[in-house]
Structure 1
Amino acid sequence: MADLWQWVLDHGALVITYLYWALDIVLRLVSLIVVPRKRRPGSAIAWLLAIMVFPLVGFPLFLLLGRSQLPRRRLEKQRLVNRLMRVRAHAIPDSELDEDVPSWLQSAVRLNRELGAFPLTGNNSADLEIDYETSIARMAADIRTAHDSVHVLFYIMGLDETTEDFFEALGERADAGVRVRVLYDHWGAASHGKQYRAMRRKLDAHGIEHAPMMPIRLFRDGAFQRPDLRNHRKMVIVDGEIGWMGSQNMIASHYDKPSNIRRGLHWQETMARFRGPIVSELNLLFATDWYYESGEMLPEPTLVRPSPDTSGSYECQLVPSGPGFVAENNLALFNQLFYSATRRIVAVSPYFVPEESMLAALVTAARRGVEVELFVSEIGDQFLVFHAQRSYYTVLLEAGVRIWLYRSPTILHAKHVTIDDSVSVVGSSNMDIRSFLLQMECSLMIGGTDFMEKIREVESSYRAASRELTLEEWEKRPRAVHVLDNLCRLASAVV
């Protein structure tokens, strides 16, 4: 044994080399078995390429980021809440679509009910707000009318000059005895350190119940959880009677980042305000996230209530999605609508990195004569995603899709879709792989001619602030940029 150890010491460089190559071969062989399991071909190929090129780096990264599923205990919670949500959703009255509604829309309603458990509700009213600071002021004004409860959930929340009055409103109602509950994504909020700490101090000072969502603890719930699984929803529910949802975070429009301020960047959003039975669906969805993070199951009578305002004419249906929903609800909804469109599709998405089936749906729609418009930003705030999405422009432009670039220095962060003159979808979901697989999202499908007119006005305002990208202009971009876009597209598939 001593002789063997001495030989190892004498030939250390050779031993290390053999061990390195043995480990290299083992990692490559193991990855061929492990990586493709229950994974899309594109994602599997991207991971395998990363591992084959850099095995000692790629394989540990795969172990860290390669699973999009929740830990077992949290997944059990998700299944329990899904069952309870289905039971409670039966207390929300169903709405029947008119006989003249296209059959594909009836099919979409059935699909959404199967995926997310929520029924189609009628007699809702809604309006849109696209001015950043006005929407915050209106939410604060609604909070000040609360008599019973205020439920708040945002991906990013921070106390600054823009949001100060919003938090003042929360404090006032909490001091008056109203139950105020606040949820914020751990990474999304904590990454804004100064504003995050100020917010927590404010909430604590008024005795407001609050909790971080998806806290970054790698071995939470008895198993490893990848750190980039996030809750991306944005909602405010007041007394179960008024509901807000959409794309906006609760922070200044430049996100309080010095780099954004230097570049003059600010975010353009779309928020929707609802009254009617649909607010009970929003309240139920908030309750699921509250249960995950606090362990408290809110009683049904406080969540599902007869709406005092049923004067509206809009039919609405909520579609939650996230790692706990194996069917990728938001992707299924978008694809169903894109394939069903007969005249027009307008899609607004800040981060457009479509899954292969979605890209095929949009390209097919354009080639069969549907007018397809895509709104994205002229500049990006996320390097990898921005260049990855640009790699899809050529195939879209060649198919006849019109691409509108919202002019800098504004980042168009709104997320909504309109199909023909039949249905709109607003919410928090981007059209990218992260929103389909890794993030908790909520989308709301809305039917109603009046609402379609409101959202068409928003689309027109975005069109006026954009310039159209032509295929001729796009083909003149530098070759180096073309290569960079394609490399980022490959990297974006590693999920």
Structure 2
Amino acid sequence: MDWTDLQEAWGWFAEHVLIVLPYALFALDVVLRIAAVIVVPRNRRPQSAFAWLLAIMVLPIVGFPLYLMLGQAQLPRKRREKQRVVNRLMRARSMDIPDSDLDEDSPSWLQSAVALNRELGAYPLTGGNSADLEIDYQTSLDRMAEDVRGARETVHVLFYAAGLDDWTQNFFDAVGEAADRGVKVRCLYDHFGSFKYWGSYRRMIRFLDAHDVEHYSMMPIKPFRDGAFQRPDLRNHRKLVVVDGEVGWMGSQNLIAAHYNKKKLIRAGVRWQETMVRLQGPIVSEMNLLFGIDWFFESDEFITEDQLVKPHPEADGPYECQLAPSGPGFVLENNLLLFNQLFYSASKRIVAVSPYFVPDESMLYALITAAKRGVEIELFVSEKGDQFLVSHAQRSYYTTLLQAGVRIQMYREPAILHAKHITVDDSVTVIGSSNMDIRSFILDMESSLMVGGSDFMVRMHEIEDVYRSRSRELTLEEWEARPWYVKIVDNTCRLASSIV
């Protein structure tokens, strides 16, 4: 075909475009709908598949490209290759380390939960640990800073959101002092989770560079780094601090001001309420291993096991602890399976604290089943939500839960209850970074800690009492009386939240 033919073809198209275009769009519409029915349901949970199909059927030309970009919760290729290497190493290590013995008064089903965690994450149950809880935001930052100031060899810091501001200045000063005296300091922070708070993020980067602290952003948003589009909303949501492999912190709190430096929140007096746990004993080495894995992903530096795992010959703490990591790097939803296992095992009481409660069907049925067989269930959520979609989506579940007998405690505004933990039967606690929502189950890398023992539960119940005193109980009558248009928004957001 020569230039003249191309000109004639273009001329014909320009002349007939208004006639041809509707037929072309109709054909494209049909092709995309048929392709969606074939492709979308493959290896996908029904509620997610239905949500994607609905979006594509309503507007195929927009919905299908969005599905191609956001429809697969899969890590970039190079990271998947690294994950396979790490999984093999962790499995091999796990075979040589026996689980610690549970207390004699532990329920029989707790051993099943330990076995499940070990199969999913390859982390053993460790004994001889001590643990302390902290719920005051500034105090936890200052206590972490105090531990960093006592560091002799290493300081490992990993947070989803991190920034240097008035609240975190003391912590970063401690990090800088440790680095200046020769302590090896490594810092990780989620790219999106920290970058969006630009002012404090920029100050943090400058500070770390000034003190020669090695640092990396986790899951950097580089959509085409492997030569194919990568989903940008896969994030590392963990929160960890490990000092010398001997002292560790984990929980729900980020390394940033309690109002996240948002002017609107500052004016409204909004503060995030968190729960953090300080640990000593063999479990800290397991936390250090988890940090080492994330460090390997971002830096390509493989920190050897003997550098991360420290002997604890005199560990005589009263608690058995087991780390339960989860995220898109694992085959299954580790945190969801653990929660469901514990809910089905409960015989007396379940208390769940989660700022974002958007369960999948399996978790919803686990809770309803527990409630119907007489288990007392209490769910703590925020009265004020900070994310429109998630807040309305989770509210769409309240009617079903209240009708089943679940008590819902709404933490009074203007505070945002951001803590995340569950307690079951005065026997076991799970605390960490994981919300009880679909994002935490599928898209985010999370770290949870299972702690056995009634002594630890005493302190957990004290914290629950504090949260209960700051909350009001939602009744079914009050909830059903909300305006009809609010119900429509809730149910629409519930459908949208299933698109993962």
TM-score (norm: length of structure 2): 0.97
Q: Does 1:171 align with 2:176?
A: yes
| Aligned pair partner of 2:49 in 33, 44, 53 | 44
Partner of 1:424: 429
Q: Hey, what's the Cα distance between the residues in 1 that align with 2:313 and 2:266?
A: 44
Deviations 1:463-491 (A, max 9, x none): 00000000010010000000000000000
* Aligned amino acid, residue 470 of structure 1: T
Partner of 1:157: 162
Q: Secondary structure of 1:158's partner? A: coil
* Aligned amino acid, residue 15 of structure 1: V
Deviations 1:299-338 (A, max 9, x none): 1111111126512110000000000111110000000000
| Aligned pair partner of 1:116 in 88, 103, 121 | 121
Partner of 1:74: 79
Q: Does 1:286 align with 2:291?
A: yes
Aligned residues: 495
Q: Hey, what's the Cα distance between the residues in 2 that align with 1:9 and 1:305?
A: 74
Deviations 1:37-90 (A, max 9, x none): 111110001000000001111111111110001122211111111122233456
Q: Secondary structure of 2:278's partner? A: strand
Determine what percentage of the aligned residue pairs are the same residue. 68
Q: Would the aligned equivalents of 1:180 and 1:209 in 2 still touch at CA under 8 Å?
A: yes
Q: Would the aligned equivalents of 2:252 and 2:274 in 1 still touch at CA under 8 Å?
A: yes
| Aligned pair partner of 1:464 in 461, 469, 488 | 469
Q: Does 1:198 align with 2:191?
A: no
Q: Hey, what's the Cα distance between the residues in 1 that align with 2:313 and 2:197?
A: 39
Q: Does 1:24 align with 2:29?
A: yes
Q: Hey, what's the Cα distance between the residues in 1 that align with 2:155 and 2:167?
A: 20
* Aligned amino acid, residue 173 of structure 1: A
Q: Would the aligned equivalents of 1:122 and 1:313 in 2 still touch at CA under 8 Å?
A: yes
| Aligned pair partner of 2:379 in 353, 363, 374 | 374
* Aligned amino acid, residue 86 of structure 2: V
* Aligned amino acid, residue 128 of structure 1: L
Deviations 1:241-289 (A, max 9, x none): 0000000000000000112112221100000000000001000000000
Q: Hey, what's the Cα distance between the residues in 2 that align with 1:191 and 1:307?
A: 40
More divergent stretch after superposition (6-15 vs 272-281): 6-15
Partner of 2:280: 275
Partner of 1:453: 458
Q: Would the aligned equivalents of 1:276 and 1:308 in 2 still touch at CA under 8 Å?
A: no
TM-score (norm: length of structure 1): 0.98
Q: Would the aligned equivalents of 1:127 and 1:272 in 2 still touch at CA under 8 Å?
A: yes
Q: Would the aligned equivalents of 1:427 and 1:444 in 2 still touch at CA under 8 Å?
A: yes
* Aligned amino acid, residue 42 of structure 1: Q
Deviations 1:380-439 (A, max 9, x none): 000000000000000000000000000000000000000001100000000000000000
Partner of 2:404: 399
Matches within 5 A, 1:91-170: 94-170=99-175
Q: Does 1:412 align with 2:417?
A: yes
Q: Would the aligned equivalents of 1:123 and 1:312 in 2 still touch at CA under 8 Å?
A: yes
* Aligned amino acid, residue 200 of structure 2: Q
More divergent stretch after superposition (439-448 vs 255-264): 255-264
* Aligned amino acid, residue 384 of structure 1: L
Q: Would the aligned equivalents of 1:348 and 1:376 in 2 still touch at CA under 8 Å?
A: yes
Partner of 2:326: 321
Deviations 1:222-254 (A, max 9, x none): 433200000000000000000000000000000
Question: Could you say if the C-alpha distance between residues 347 and 299 of structure 1 is closer, same or farther in structure 2, counting changes exceeding 3 Å?
Answer: same
Distance apart, 1:8 and its partner CA: 2.4
* Aligned amino acid, residue 349 of structure 1: S
Q: Secondary structure of 1:326's partner? A: coil
**Gapped regions of structure 2 (runs ≥ 5):** none
